[in-house]
Structure 1
Amino acid sequence: FSFAGLVIASMIYSLPFMVQPLHSAFRAVPESVLEAAATLGASPRDRFINVGIPLARRGFLTGAVLTFAHTVGEFGVVLMMGGNIPGETRVLSIAIYEHVETLNYDAAHSLALGLLCFAFLSLWLVYRFAGERVEVIRG
């Protein structure tokens, strides 16, 4: 049980929440923009770094928010890989579980409400910033 093991397990478990928005964002990059960069002499690496990544930045934001929100509320992986070491591997979902186990429902409700508010805030951020379309100037 260690914090490093917890981080690695959470990253592997939450990987699909990062990959899917990135995949969609990179597929949405117009091929004509990449071709224009190639025509201007940009190498494949330069096209990826200077054109592809900036146009897919909303996918990075969406993936980061979804991955973080998913990891914050995760219970199973945290309990199996990180254990419950106070001050080292104890996370919010485990704290809620402990409060319920000790019949301290007021504290559990407060923490659960905070987690619910965080989930709504995360979804609002995703819909607010990732929902906008990137416009390409054509001429």
Structure 2
Amino acid sequence: MQNAFLTIGKGPLEAAATLRSSPLNRFFHVAIPLARPGYISAAILGFAHTVGELGVVLMIGGNISNETRVISIQIYDHVEALEYGQAHTLPLLMVAFAFVVLAFLYGVQKHPKSKAVSGVVF
């Protein structure tokens, strides 16, 4: 999200300031809408990262049988029961899920095409 705000630059905020926009108004009506791709990226990557967490899920959600079951806890249970075939299938599904989420993220984001000439980006 920090990079999203840095890529906005000072230009749009200065333009809003010349139109007598208050700092709060510039933030909510200029900066936040321009940083929207950063919010979307942060939300998707945060979700994808949290899917694989084990410790946080156990601390917050617990391990209530048939109620708070997530894939990471299921993998742990399969390994403890020496069911390695099933334990190997679930991480493969998690990697596929992460790939789909990241492919979606990069597909949704708009990457401006720029020409670099002698280190200067136009």
Matches of 1:47 and 1:133 in 2, distance apart? 24
Where in structure 1 are there 5+ consecutive unaligned residues? 1-21, 135-139
SS at match of 2:99: helix
Question: How many residues end up aligned between the 2 structures?
Answer: 114
* 2:61 is the alignment partner of 1:82: yes
Which one has the largest radius of gyration? 2
Q: CA distance change for structure 1 residues 67 and 104 in 2, over 3 Å: closer, same or farther?
A: same
Alpha-carbon RMSD: 2.2
Of structures 1 and 2, the one scoring higher in RCO (CA 8 A, sep 6+) is: 1
Structure 2 Cα separation of the partners of residues 93 and 82 of structure 1: 13
- 1: distance between equivalents of 2:110 and 2:93? 25
1:100 and 2:79 equivalent? yes
CA contact (8 A) 1:100 1:108 kept: yes
Q: Which has the higher helix share?
A: 1
Q: 1:34·1:47 contact (CA, 8 Å) conserved in 2?
A: yes
Q: Which runs of 5+ in 2 are unaligned?
A: 114-122
Q: How does 1:67-78 map onto structure 2 within 5 Å?
A: 67-78=46-57
What is the percent sequence identity of the aligned residues?
Answer: 53
How far 1:77 moved relative to its partner? 2.1
